[in-house]
């Protein structure tokens, strides 16, 4: 836990440094892009203060998420679950911190070319989709290794009351995460950015909804389920 904590603090420091450097290098403009559409084109403008919010919300979010990861093992009611899940848990912890660094870099990059032409400050949505897709692929490869616990994983009433539902749901969701990541990543190279983004979002929602339904079906047919 000591190494992962140091790594997390290093990620937080990097995210804060990226935000600060980007803020210090912002050109003086009358307005700044503060929101982009699915094509990567700015569709809303605001003040420099709104840019500061966009930049520095990530360091705050990173600290919060880091503290949540620290807290979860301490509040898990069944201590045996902590030991059983420590390897996949730390794996997801590291991946999440790396994802936050990637998203922070993406946000900082969004403001690097403002002095050239604010109204044409298109951002690479494909980079965001590829980053998120890679995250899903890596997460998918570890999902099946989670043992039943109360705080992380696909926690429906049915997975929490059936080992069979927990195991089968997590193995299937892991494969679906890998699949949606691969499909979304391929979409960035064969179609438009907005379609790739909508593909990622749509498949993520479908996977979430399907995992709930699937866990119920497996639970209902499990003779050893807890009633």
What is the per-residue pLDDT across 75-97, written as a single tens digit (0 to 9) for each? 877 777 777 888 888 999 999 99
Q: 22-31, 108-117, 204-213: which has the minimum mean pLDDT?
A: 108-117
Question: Which residue ranges make up each domain of the chain?
Answer: 1-111, 124-227
Q: Is 36 helix (H, G, I), strand (E, B) or coil?
A: strand
Contact 54, 34 (CB under 8 A): yes
Task: Judge whether 196 and 187 are in contact, CB under 8 Å.
Answer: yes
Helix ranges (H only) for the chain are 2-24, 48-75, 79-110, 125-143, 163-190, 193-220
- pTM of the full structure: 0.85
Dihedral sign of CA atoms 62, 66, 72, 74 in order: negative
Residue positions counted in the chain: 227
Q: What are the tens digits of pLDDT across the range 42-67?
A: 888 888 888 888 889 889 999 999 99
What does the DSSP 8-state code read for residue 158?
Answer: T
Residues 6+ apart with CB under 8 A from 213: none
| Digit-coded pLDDT (tens) for 172-195 | 999 999 999 999 999 999 999 899
Q: Say if residue 123's pLDDT is above 80.
A: no
């Amino acid at each position: 836990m000591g190494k992962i904590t140091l790594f997390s603090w290093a990620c937080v420091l990097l995210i804060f440094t990226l935000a600060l450097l980007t803020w210090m290098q912002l050109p003086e403009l009358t307005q700044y892009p503060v929101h982009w559409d699915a094509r990567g084109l700015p569709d809303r403008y605001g003040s420099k203060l709104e840019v500061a919010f966009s930049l520095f919300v990530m360091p705050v979010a990173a600290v919060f998420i880091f503290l949540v990861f620290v807290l979860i093992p301490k509040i898990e009611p069944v201590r045996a679950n902590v030991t059983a899940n420590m390897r996949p848990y730390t794996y997801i912890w590291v991946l999440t911190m790396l994802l936050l660094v990637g998203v922070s870099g993406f946000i900082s990059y969004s403001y690097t070319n403002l002095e050239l032409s604010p109204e044409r400050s298109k951002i690479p949505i494909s980079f965001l989709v590829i980053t998120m897709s890679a995250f899903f692929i890596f997460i998918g490869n570890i999902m099946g290794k989670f043992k039943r616990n109360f705080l992380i994983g696909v926690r429906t009433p049915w997975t929490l009351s059936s080992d069979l539902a927990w195991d089968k749901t997590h193995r299937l969701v892991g494969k679906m995460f890998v699949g949606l990541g691969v499909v979304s990543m391929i979409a960035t190279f064969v179609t438009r950015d907005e379609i790739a983004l909508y593909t990622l979002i749509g498949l993520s929602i479908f996977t979430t909804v399907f995992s709930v339904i699937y866990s119920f079906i497996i639970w209902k047919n499990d003779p050893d389920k807890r009633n």
